[in-house]
Amino acid sequence: MFRKSLTWAVLSALLIVIVGNLVLYGKIAALPIPIAERIDMGLVVSWLVTGVITLLLMLFTFKPLFKPVVSVLFFITSMATYFTWSYGIGIDQDMIRNVMETDTAEVSDLVSPALIGVILAVVALLVLFWRLPLTYPKGLRGLGVRGIWLVAALVATVAVPWMQYDLLAGTVRNYRELRHDVSPANWMVGTSKYVASLTRAPLKHQQLGLDATLEKPVRPRLVVMVVGETARADDFGLNGSRNDTTPELAKAGVVNFPKLTSCGTATAISVPCMFSYENQSNFDVEKSKYSDNVLDILARAGVDVVWRDNNSGCKDVCTRVSYQTVESLEQPGNCNKECFDMGLLYQLDKVLPPKPRDVLIVLHMMGSHGPAYYKRYPPEFERFKPVCKSNEPKDCSQEALTNTYDNSILYSDHVLAQLIGFLKTVKGYDTGMLYLSDHGESLGEYGIYLHGAPRWMAPPQQTHIPGITWLSAGLQQQLGVDEQCLQKRADMPHSQDDIFHSLLGIMGVKTKLYQNANDWYSSCPGLQLAGTSQQQKPLEQ
């Protein structure tokens, strides 16, 4: 009996479901419902998923297919369980996208002794499985046997959940977030949706803002936009964090945006979203690849646009503008396998054209990317101690983990302050800077680490992000704003939906797409624009 492939289809499905749903069982056990209902829920979900996986495996009970299919399912499910257990993450289409679009540096940060141990244990089990001498149904009789098993499995799969439908439906309705923990359904559905999004017929590229025109200011504008990585507002000193993580920015005359939220919870979503004309509720990451973003509109209007990257790329935002990587700059002493963010400022003056004209530079930081936060800053910025020198957050105390993360924010503070210092020295331009993170980060709150939670259920630590801006006196005068007016505006709730319109506004580009209400830099009442005799009128809607 235990050499029959059909028997092992059931046993393999049961093992996959038990291993894959350890996190789910823990969450069901913590639900505020009677213990009998929690036990019933765990059993019903396990029965249902085991039945579905059994049905799937029975379709592959042929000698060339069965063991490879079981091995792939078990290995991926085990890896998914490890990461959900270690970091408290949920798995959906966006998380699969994050996995597929990551780079080797990010992967290496996740490698740990615990992960290696899990991989070795899984491989050992699979070696034993491959050594089993299984038998497979053959010929027409074999097809008949498979048919009987399939029908029996289908009836058994449906019968028990049907009898417990009210319990199952009520729990799913009241605790929707649990569906991202049902394994292997979570990663299988997420992967299928991700693949489907890639295989859609290519869309015709849509040009936007063809009416865009560039103002001719008294002096050219040089604006640097800094896209941070994994910085959360709670640990930004200007917002009153436990550690003073922004001592240099506190003295730099910046305007702070304390109520800023992100479009997504991962770089692959937030970066293209913040530059898109579509707002967060309408944004489609795949469709955005076939549409102009604000950088395209600015470049077409006559602004020199340069993207300089110290991260995993621009996520298709900069495909039609100038692009540089920090690694390609060959700067001495700043890079060892990966580069510190100060490298983003290396010879930044050489990016400027020989004759001053309007320029927008986008700097994409490595910022506070985890879980190896201790790698994000040089040793001299290890100010808050004790620290966590591990890429396994659960191995460290909350104090050490927070200190290490805050040291990375402290280093970002230094980089941003140095950038402002550079902008103050540039001749022939009115200069400005804006900074915001792509998304936030969980540091153990609610048992969750890192980021990438589905947006609708993400904790605020993953969506509440820091943002600041600094403008030279000349650029303030050009825009018709001052620090007091900007800070009053900044104290209101804002989101990354504003970036499209704010970049148009700060660069002086007019288009019907522009929305004055979303522009951080729209002129303030009572302030006169440089070179004009009246207040700036709102751009045409």
Number of H helices, E strands in the chain: 17, 16
Q: What is the DSSP string of 86-139?
A: HH----SHHHHHHHHT--HHHHHHH--HHHHHHHHHHHHHHHHHHTS--B---H
Give the range among 95-109, 388-402, 433-447, 519-533 with minimum mean pLDDT.
519-533
| Predicted local confidence at residue 172, as pLDDT | 64
Give the range among 60-74, 230-244, 361-375, 526-540 with minimum mean pLDDT.
526-540
| Predicted local confidence at residue 94, as pLDDT | 83
Please provide the distance, in angstroms rounded to a whole number, between the alpha carbons at the two ends of the chain: 74
More confident residue, 217 or 415: 415
- Burial (Cβ within 10 Å: 0-12, 13-18, ≥19) of residue 179: middle
The yes-or-no verdict on residue 537 having pLDDT over 60 is no
Average pLDDT rounded to a whole number, residues 68-73: 95
532: confidence class by pLDDT, cuts 50, 70, 90: very low
The yes-or-no verdict on residue 535 having pLDDT over 70 is no
Interior CA angle at 493 toward 489 and 499, to 5°?
80
Average pLDDT rounded to a whole number, residues 384-413: 96
Q: Which residues contact 376 (CB under 8 A, 6 or more apart)?
A: 340, 341, 366, 367, 368, 369, 407, 408, 411
pTM of the model: 0.84
Helix 5-20 and helix 66-87, axial crossing angle in degrees, nearest 10:
10
pLDDT, tens digit, for every residue of 101-128?
A: 777 777 888 888 889 999 999 999 999 9
- Tell me how far the alpha carbon of residue 535 is from its chain's centroid: 40
| Predicted local confidence at residue 464, as pLDDT | 98
Q: In what order do the strands lie in the sheet with 260-261?
A: 464-465, 260-261, 494-495
pLDDT, tens digit, for every residue of 196-236?
A: 888 777 789 999 999 999 988 789 999 999 999 999 999 99
The answer to whether 76 and 187 have CB atoms below 8 angstroms apart is yes
| Predicted local confidence at residue 276, as pLDDT | 98
| Predicted local confidence at residue 236, as pLDDT | 98
More confident residue, 33 or 209: 209
Domain boundaries, given as residue ranges, for the chain? 5-198, 222-518
Give the range among 24-33, 310-319, 350-359, 400-409 with minimum mean pLDDT.
24-33
**Mean pLDDT for all residues in the chain:** 89
- C-alpha pair distances (Å), 181 with each of 46, 56, 511: 12, 20, 45
Domain 222-518: give its CATH architecture: 3-Layer(aba) Sandwich (3.40)
How many Cα atoms occupy the beta-carbon half-sphere of 158 within 13 Å? 6
